[in-house]
Structure 1
Amino acid sequence: MKIDKTLPLEYSTQQNQLNILGFWIFLGAEIMLFGTLFAGYFVLFDRTGNGPTGAEIFEIVPVLFETFILLTSSFTIGLAIHAMRNGNKKLTITFFIITLLLGIGFLGFEVSEFVHYVHIGAGLQTSAFTAVLLTTLGTHGAHVTFGTFWGLLIILQLKKRGLTPETTNKSFIFSLYWHFLDVVWIFIFSFIYLKGMV
């Protein structure tokens, strides 16, 4: 395996560069997935039938907490990659752990939100609006859940193998995934919650 020492470690081999390119292509497919969910939401958001509207069920305070937590986790994963590029394994792992704890906190708020929606009668079968809302939020939440387990596996590899071309490549690709989830959440916050509260 030929290593190019002029590049950051995560880009230092041809395989690593191909892995990153492949992941960008994967993110393109993810954009299509969420784009489809958003399109469905925009078509169905006023199809509430006898169920509640967004203005009746959305609460700004929990949503602001979710947003703050997830955007903070984007910052901490950025710090993890910065520490990784500086060769600081311990700090990289520390920021990875903080990122995952914030992700778990976000999921806690989201589960609480789902329970609240179902409790007030806004379930999957209530209306087209609640069905597409819960599907969109649930898909994002499932991605965060997957990311939490993925990040945990990377932490274990970093602890065992250190900062190698392979582990730094995996860590960098994970950071791209995590930032992507934060960007999707900004769209959810802006076009589902804020628009729905009006």
Structure 2
Amino acid sequence: MVAAVLQPPPELPLDETRRIPGNKGIWVGITCEIVEFVVLFAVYFVARAHFPDAFHAGAQRLSVVAGTVITLLMVTSSYFIACSVNAIRRGRHRASVFWLVAGLLVALGYPLAKYLEISWNLAHDINGSSGIFFTVYYYLTFNHLVHATWGILGILWVLARLLFHGYTAADHSGLEALASYWHATDIIWLIIFPLFYVLA
């Protein structure tokens, strides 16, 4: 009787709705990304506390239109990639490819919009030496652009695999990992946007 009590309970079937998406590797990467930006945000708030006037004046010189466009591109591409994951889960391979291509095309608009924004900034004498606000702004936004570029390269890799049926309804952790990373990068931008373009 004691032996029967000490026996482990029978394994329950895996509940798909409670499974962590992606894989362990991508969550290590996402954790490192979040830790990095937590440090950078701490630098932002320390600098802002010491130079409130510079941060207020600097925000007035940035293009809110550029920040809004980038925000819309990030959110839209995240939505399209989520649609791709949802489609492959349902076994709809063609739809999954369509949504991932759409997500890639919209995501490519981010570096283009950033290039145009920086060109506009430089034309208005806004560079990294224009004051503490712009030093922090360029450092944070360039770091985000680097992470987004890694995400875009990841989209290309996952799309290549998806085109050759590398993912199925039963096995699509690579696509989920990409979506998880891109969503994390998206969330970080949603913090950056108000800090520099709206609240400063």
TM-score, normalization by structure 1:
0.81
Report the residue type matching 2:47 in the other structure. L
Which residue pairs with 2:6 in the alignment?
Answer: none
Cα drift, residue 76 of structure 1: 0.7
Contact 1:74 1:99 in 2 (8 A): yes
> Which consecutive aligned stretches of 4+ in structure 1 deviate over 6 angstroms post-superposition?
48-52
**The one of 177, 181, 184 aligned to 1:177:** 181
Contact 1:52 1:122 in 2 (8 A): no
* 1:140 matched to 2:144: yes
Distance 1:51 1:28, change over 3 A: closer
Cα drift, residue 50 of structure 1: 9.0
**The one of 41, 45, 57 aligned to 2:44:** 41
Q: Which structure 2 residues correspond to residues 6-45 of structure 1 after superposition, within 5 A?
A: 20-45=23-48
Q: Which string of whole-angstrom CA distances, capped at 9 and with x for unpartnered residues, describes residues 6-46 of structure 1?
A: 665xx7xxxxx796233223212211111111111222246
Contact 2:73 2:106 in 1 (8 A): yes
Q: Which string of whole-angstrom CA distances, capped at 9 and with x for unpartnered residues, describes residues 114-158 of structure 1?
A: 122222222123322211110100111111111111111111111
Larger radius of gyration between Structure 1 and Structure 2? 2
Q: Which string of whole-angstrom CA distances, capped at 9 and with x for unpartnered residues, describes residues 149-181 of structure 1?
A: 111111111112342489711111000001001
Which residue pairs with 1:161 in the alignment?
Answer: 165
Contact 1:20 1:173 in 2 (8 A): yes
TM-score, normalization by structure 2:
0.81
C-alpha RMSD of the superposition: 2.8
Distance 1:184 1:34, change over 3 A: same
Which residue pairs with 1:86 in the alignment?
Answer: 90
CA distance in 2, matches of 1:151, 1:138: 20
Deviates more, 1:165-174 or 1:30-39: 165-174
CA distance in 1, matches of 2:169, 2:87: 15
Give aligned pairs, total: 185
**The one of 55, 60, 83 aligned to 1:56:** 60
Report the residue type matching 1:171 in the other structure. L
Distance 1:118 1:171, change over 3 A: same
Report the residue type matching 2:165 in the other structure. R
SS of the residue corresponding to residue 23 of structure 2 reads: helix
Once the two structures are aligned, what percentage of the paired residues are identical? 24
Which residue pairs with 1:152 in the alignment?
Answer: 156
CA distance in 1, matches of 2:170, 2:196: 38
CA distance in 2, matches of 1:166, 1:33: 34
Distance 1:33 1:51, change over 3 A: closer
Which residue pairs with 2:133 in the alignment?
Answer: 129
Distance 1:51 1:170, change over 3 A: closer
Deviates more, 1:186-195 or 1:162-171: 162-171
